[in-house]
Chain A
Amino acid sequence: MKNFLKYLATKPLRLSIIVVLVAILSFILVSFSPLDPITAYLGYDRLQISQEQEQVIIERWGLDKSPPERFIAWTKNILQGDFGTSVIFNDPVTLVIGKRFAASFWLMFFAWTLSGILGFVLGAIAGTWRDSIADRIIRFYAYTLASTPTFWVAMILLVFFGVKLGWFPICCAGPLGVAPEQVSFADRLYHLALPVLTLSLVGTAQIILHTREKMIDFFQSNHAIYAMSCGEARFGTALFHGLRNILLPAITLQFASLGELFSGSVLAEMVFSYPGLGKATVDAGIRGDVPLLLGIVIFSTIFVVTGNLLADLIYRWVDPRIQIGEATG
């Protein structure tokens, strides 16, 4: 128990330091950008604005100050919970991120759950009957998907299910012309289907290979040999003994792979024009919305770091050897 408390005290501290360092580093990086934020924002319209209008924008964005001054101002504001105003959405960054993340959350949640379950089951099957035909097929699938770009999978699904078969919508989070607030739940799911499928297909690859490896290891362990000597068949050994031994590492891996999930969602959202955080990231990057871009970098880092922390905590929480061992010893 003491270890656990010590862990609770040190780990989050280290993770917060990392978030802070990421924030500082990102700020330095964007201040190096040779892109002129005003041109990036206005595009060709820049030619049409007057000197005075430009001066107004420069002052409003604080572009007349030096980077260190801007950094201090920015840090001060952040400490007060103010991440600035998004240039392209004209809303506070926190509001934009909150809204966009709410849309992305369901996409990521479904994809995460689906790929976790699917990958675990397929990986367990492949590992249990190693070198069988099923194993070969599953392995081929996983290795191929691991070398396939996410956006291309999205495009193929879009062409096939969206355009050719017409089963699913090819764009957006709701029907065209309907305000986002009025989209029904069913409609939302319907529009989520293809992006979720994309992320699930790509996400399974890693978890399949990992689970398969662990299952093969398990079948070489004393536990498996003993279970089989007690009369368990291969299937029973896997089901009664193996699954529970490899589940924990799989869950941990799944929590630790939130970064890849986020990256995948950026690409999938772009292909399907899904108005989530991923699309906002790309827009912010292309149109030079520095406050939003920095906000998203910090937010996504917190997202990934929280995943890692949860992975760690679950490991400690679920494994009886650690849980009871620390409580009694």
Chain B
Amino acid sequence: MSAGTFKKRQAFSMGNRKRATILSVACILFFAGLYVAGFLLDDGGLRTNFMYRNQPPSFEFLFGTDWLGRDLLTRTIKGLCISLQIGMLAAFCSAVFATLFGLCAATFGGKVDAAVTTLIDIVMSTPHLVMLILISFAMGGGAQGVVTAVALTHWTRLARIIRAEVLQLKNMDYVAVSARLGKSKMWIARKHIFPHLLPQIIIGLILLFPHAILHSAGLTFLGFGLSPHNPSIGVLLSESMQHLSTGYWWLAIIPGVSLVLMVKMFDILGNNLRYINDPQTSQH
């Protein structure tokens, strides 16, 4: 036995596994709660109320109010809910692209593979934000612009993973044996390839959320995305830009912190699911 064969194994006990499961469930519950809250909240807090303009956070207004007297707590929850929907929609489309492209590249090989690889190179060779601006310009802005832009730019990494995974699976003995036994390609894809791929796709999808949410917020912040009538977190932050120099700090800080927390929870969720799915993956 040589020293080279030593690999420090991350301790992976029941305790860690339980913790990962609990964390994941907590994250999912949080997102579900946020979603429901966004629907249930009445628009009372969104109405302008000049009696209470620019109130700092207090017991009455936990997050304070803005320059029109709107309750920031309500706006933040609504905003997170909108950002969540946009991000999830974009990430979902992105994951569909990734699966499609990754599968095609690996299954057909040859020219298809070369084309997909070039397409990936193209998307990766332009700064994300420039590509996002270009696409949302081409779509004429608005929510559909943000979703399309994010969906068209974020599929590359997952597509690469899926492509590599399928190529590896294709070379597995049991897949080769099935092919020899005369099973059809569809049968093999359904029975052997897809079950292995599904967890990868789901985890890849969840890990796409943070990027999708951050980028759609960024795009909206720059003025390409949603209109002020549809106040996502990006809009909230963009509007607060005009009030930065006035000392109403909560307008920028509180929605921002909520956004960071939400993105971080998606990260935690994705990484914990990956942890549960694959005990070999050491988490650093």
Footprint of B on A, CB under 8 Å?
A: 15, 18-19, 21-22, 25-26, 29-30, 32-35, 130, 139, 143-144, 146-152, 155-156, 158-159, 163-164, 170, 212-213, 216, 220-222, 225, 258-260, 262-263, 266-267, 270-271, 281-282, 285-286, 288, 293, 296-297, 300-301, 303-305, 308
Contacts and interface: CB of A to CB of B under 8 A. Distances in A.
Kindly list the 8 A-B residue pairs having the minimum CB-CB distance in the complex, ordered from nearest. Answer: A263-B129, A262-B127, A147-B263, A29-B138, A34-B140, A285-B133, A152-B256, A259-B127
Given A29-B135, A144-B260, A263 B217 contact: no
Interface stretch (B161-169, B193-201, B239-247): B239-247
A266 B224 contact: no
A259 B7 CA distance: 35
Contacts of B210: 147
Contacts, number: 159
Contacts of A258: 127
24 contacts: A21-B118, A29-B138, A143-B267, A147-B266, A149-B221, A170-B244, A170-B245, A212-B284, A259-B128, A260-B127, A262-B130, A263-B129, A266-B129, A266-B222, A267-B221, A270-B221, A281-B129, A286-B222, A293-B137, A296-B130, A297-B126, A300-B127, A301-B125, A304-B127
B224 to A, nearest CB: 6
Contacts of B124: 259
Given A30-B134, A152-B237, A21 B218 contact: no
Contact of A152 (B118, B245, B259): B259
Interface residues of B, number: 51
Q: Is the interface of A mostly helix, strand, loop or mixed?
A: helix
B50 interface: no
Report which residue of B130, B135, B222, B224 has the largest number of chain A beta carbons within 10 angstroms of its beta carbon: B130
A282 B129 CA distance: 10
B243 to A, nearest CB: 10
A197 to B, nearest CB: 16
A258 B131 CA distance: 14
B6 interface: yes
**Chain B interface mostly helix, strand, loop or mixed?**
helix
A265 B232 CA distance: 23
B127 A35 contact: no
A238 to B, nearest CB: 16
Contact of B237 (A21, A26, A155, A285): A155
A22 B221 CA distance: 25
